[in-house]
Chain A
Amino acid sequence: MSAPRDRLPLPALIGVVIGAAIMVAPLLWTLILSLKDNAALMRDSATAFAPPWTLANYAAILRGSSTFHWLVNSMIVSLGTTAGVLILCSLAGYGFARLEFPFRRALFVFVLLGLAIPEQAVILPRHQLFAQLHLHNSYPGLILPGLVSSFGVFFMTQYFRAIPRELDEAAMLDGASRFTLFWKVLLPLTLPAQATLGVFTFLGSWNDYWWPLISATRSERFTLTVGLASSQMNYAQTSGLGFLMAQAIFASIPIFIVYILFQKQIIRAIAGAAVR
Chain B
Amino acid sequence: MRRARVMALVLAAAAMLGSCHAGDRRTAISVQRFFGECDAAYGRNTDPATAEGECGIMTTLLNRFQAENPDIRLDLNIVAWPGYAQLTAQIAAGDPPDLVTMHQSMISDYQGRGLLEPVDALLDEAGLPPGTFTAAGRRGVTKAGHFYAMPWDTIGGLFHVNTKLMAQAGLMKSGRPVFPTNPDELLALARQFKARTGKPYFVQSEVNDPASDVHNLYSYLLAQDAIIFPDARHVRLRTPEAKRIVELFRRIEVEGLSTHHQDYPAALASFMHGEGGIFPVGTWVLGSFEQEAKTPGRPLYNAYAVYPFPHLWGRDASFVDGHSWVMPKRKRTPEQKAAVAHFFKFMAAHNFDWSRTGHIPAVEAVVESPKFQSLPHRKDIAPLALTGEQLPDYVQRQSAIQGLIGEELASAIAGTKSVDQALADAERRVDELLGQVL
Are B36 and A234 in contact (CB-based, < 8 A)?
Answer: yes
**Shortest Cβ distance from A218 into B: residue:** B77
Type the 1/0 row for B74-113, where 1 means its CB is closer than 8 Å to any CB of A: 0111111100011101101111010000000000000000
Give A76-123 interface residues, CB cut-off 8 Å to B: 76, 79-80, 83
Q: Would you call B55 an interface residue if the criterion is a C-beta within 8 Å of the partner chain's C-beta atoms? A: yes
* Chain B residues within an 8 Å CB radius of A233: 80-81
Q: Is the CB of A236 within 8 A of B264?
A: yes
Q: Which residues of chain B are within 8 angstroms of A76 by Cβ–Cβ distance?
A: 11, 14-15, 18
A selection of 7 A-B contacts at a CB cut-off of 8 Å is A60-B40, A64-B39, A66-B39, A72-B14, A230-B37, A234-B78, A237-B53
Chain B contacts of A230 at CB under 8 A? 37, 78-80
Query: What residues of chain A lie closer than 8 Å to B39, measured between beta carbons?
Result: 64-66, 239
- Taking the closest CB of chain A, its distance from the CB of B55, in whole angstroms, is 4
Within 8 Å by CB of A65, from B11, B35, B40, B81, lies: B40
Known: A65-B39, A76-B14. 12 other contacts (CB 8 A): A64-B39, A76-B15, A127-B93, A131-B93, A134-B93, A134-B94, A136-B89, A139-B18, A217-B90, A218-B77, A220-B77, A234-B81
Contact of A131 among B10, B38, B92 (CB under 8 A): B92
| Cβ of B400 under 8 Å from chain A | no
B contacts with A, residue count (CB < 8 A): 42
CB pair B95–A137 under 8 Å, yes or no, is yes
Total CB contacts across the A-B interface at under 8 A: 110
Asked if A237 and B36 sit within 8 Å, CB to CB, the answer is yes
- Contact A239-B41, Cβ < 8 Å, known A75-B14, A79-B7, A219-B76: yes
- B10 in complex: contacting residue of A79, A136, A137, A229, CB < 8 Å: A79
- Tell me the minimal C-beta distance from B207 to chain A in angstroms: 12
Q: Which residues of B contact A239 (CB under 8 A)?
A: 37-41
The minimal Cβ–Cβ distance linking B12 to chain A, given in whole angstroms, is 10
CB nearest neighbor in B for A237: B36
Give the interface SS of chain B, mostly helix, strand, loop or mixed: helix
The reply to whether A237 and B93 form a contact with Cβ atoms under 8 Å apart is: no
Q: Are A72 and B17 in contact (CB under 8 A)?
A: yes
Chain B stretch 259-274: residues in CB contact (< 8 A) with chain A:
264-265, 268-269, 273
The answer for the CA separation of A64 and B37 in the assembled complex, in Å, is: 12
Q: How far is the CA of A126 from the CA of B164 in the complex (A)?
A: 57
A residues within 8 Å of B by Cβ? 42-43, 57, 60-61, 63-66, 72-73, 75-76, 79-80, 83, 127-128, 130-132, 134, 136-137, 139, 214-215, 217-220, 229-231, 233-239, 243
Q: Give the Cβ gap from A183 to chain B, nearest Cβ, in Å.
A: 9
Q: Are A128's CB and B37's CB within 8 A?
A: no
Give every chain B residue within 8 A of A243 (Cβ-Cβ). 40
List A contacts of B75 (CB < 8 A).
218, 220
Task: Give 7 nearest A-B pairs by CB, closest first.
Answer: A237-B36, A233-B80, A136-B93, A60-B40, A236-B265, A131-B93, A239-B40
Most A Cβ at <10 Å: residue of B37, B38, B77, B95: B37
> Which chain A residues border B10 with CB–CB below 8 Å?
79
